[in-house]
Structure 1
């Protein structure tokens, strides 16, 4: 969904993100809201609840929660920062941890997201642009991995385009 939020809203969200503390125990910086996710053990447990989502996230959580695929409002938001050359390996978001819909909102920067169908190896890709919301549900949620290749540029519209800092918000519902 291109243009899911207006530029002013993305700037407001980015200012709140940049004013908060980052976790630096991964190859990229992250922030967790609502629930902490253990990347090493790939789990969320009842004692990992951080608390309610902050007020500055309320408008965007409401908008994302209104997307028809969501059965209830997201209660976990992870902020990811990708600098040029950083990415995330192919994965399916933890199935027992999170509900049937995952959404990601790009605030800044672009990057190619690559999808691979687990059973066939079929490959597709999508350029994630600022202000775009991507929603993974049904087959896209469970049967395809998604990744952002770690590189400094992407091939877009027939040209090589250098990456810049990309910040995204991932919205999920915890099933603990």
Structure 2
């Protein structure tokens, strides 16, 4: 694996966004913890805007949960203002990763969402791995707290991304233990069950 634990080497169309959130803004974890986390997966998740059905791998027609809460809409608007999204994201999934938890290699649902996704990291660092689907090429980047990773076009559809399920990462030849991490993934829903919303 090309083991680049910085933003210098990313798949085409991917952008690393350092310090997207301030340390003070990381307090939104309290808003998240006040919600009802779902334990349906190996990790806990919260959905906002629309529910994503993991079994169907789709946004079903009855998936609308309501507008994003103001504290998330603030970040959605910032993503548009800074030019990362053209249209306002209307779906957010919060994923909680405890040390040893991860998410397997995947590509986000192409018919469900537009071609841009951004994941914001809270609380702890972790490594994200990318694998090109048409070759054996792989890359890695360290996602720091408060940072974001943008996947658009080729990086979203032609590369898988994953968080390896482990308790630590190696950074500059040093083992760094993971803590509790929360990611906020922003997307724009364009279809539900194959039909326009």
TM over 0.5: yes
Counterpart of 1:17 in structure 2 is 32
Counterpart of 1:127 in structure 2 is 142
Q: Give every structure 1 segment of 4 or more consecutive aligned residues whose post-TM-superposition deviation is greater than 3 Å.
A: none
State the shift of 1:141 in Å: 1.1
Aligned-residue CA RMSD (Å) = 0.9
Residue by residue over 1:97-132, the C-alpha shift from the partner in whole angstroms, topping out at 9 and shown as x without a partner, is: 111000000011111000000001210000111000
Separation in 2 of the partners of 1:169 and 1:69? 15
Q: Which is richer in helix?
A: 1
SS in 2 for 1:105: strand
Please list, as runs of the form range in 1=range in 2, the aligned pairs for 1:53-92 lying within 5 A after superposition: 53-92=68-107
State the shift of 1:5 in Å: 1.3
Separation in 1 of the partners of 2:52 and 2:80? 20
Count of aligned residue pairs for this structure pair: 175
- Do the aligned residues in 2 keep the contact of 1:75 with 1:171 (CA within 8 Å)? yes
Runs (5+) with no aligned partner, structure 1 = none
Separation in 1 of the partners of 2:84 and 2:70? 23
Separation in 1 of the partners of 2:141 and 2:120? 14
Q: Taking structure 1 as the reference length, what is the TM-score of the superposition?
A: 0.96
SS in 1 for 2:57: coil
